[in-house]
Amino acid sequence: MTVPDTHTKHRHVNQDRFSDDPRGGNCLTACIASILGVDLSEVPDFDMRADGPETWAEFYGSWLASIGKSIITVDVVGGDLRMRGAGSIILLGSTERNSTEIGHAVVGIIDGYGEYVVIHDPHPSRSGLKSVTGAVVIW
């Protein structure tokens, strides 16, 4: 697979599995595909792995390393995420679906002031995040 520079090439890849699926949704996989500029099918799905007690960060960290990329996860404390020079990021947090708060991921960029701007929500509702609890940087 040829993977473009994660700071210049984006695709808006949508998730095709949602929170009502017993395996959960695949918004994070769609966000990774969006940042890498590849199809959803080219990114392994954490919820479909055969075995392993690893976390999603370990799972995707290993896979990204195999294609020459790295991952950093950032926890947001107090609701304030400020970063500089990160380029494209995945924002993690919660959203509301059918009056239920669930975990979700969207693609964002860091603006000139170090604050995030959502550029793609992989869910068809495009409702974004209610709150941000973390971020993922891929480079």
Q: Is the pTM of this model over 0.85?
A: yes
**Is 22 a member of any domain?**
no
**Is 109 a member of any domain?**
yes
**Is 21 a member of any domain?**
no
Domain count, the chain: 1
pLDDT digits (tens, 9 = 90+) for 14-65: 999 998 888 889 999 999 999 999 999 999 988 777 676 688 999 999 999 9
- Cβ neighbors of 29 (< 8 A, separation 6 or more) are 15, 40, 43, 44, 45, 46
**Is 6 a member of any domain?**
no
**Is 50 a member of any domain?**
yes
**Is 16 a member of any domain?**
no
Rg (CA), the chain: 14
**Mean pLDDT score, 70-89:** 78
**Is 10 a member of any domain?**
no
**Is 67 a member of any domain?**
yes
> 124: domain range?
27-138
Cα 128 to Cα 105: distance, rounded to the nearest angstrom = 8
pLDDT interval class at 6 (50, 70, 90)? very low
In this prediction, residue 2 carries a pLDDT of 42
- Is 114's pLDDT higher than 80? no
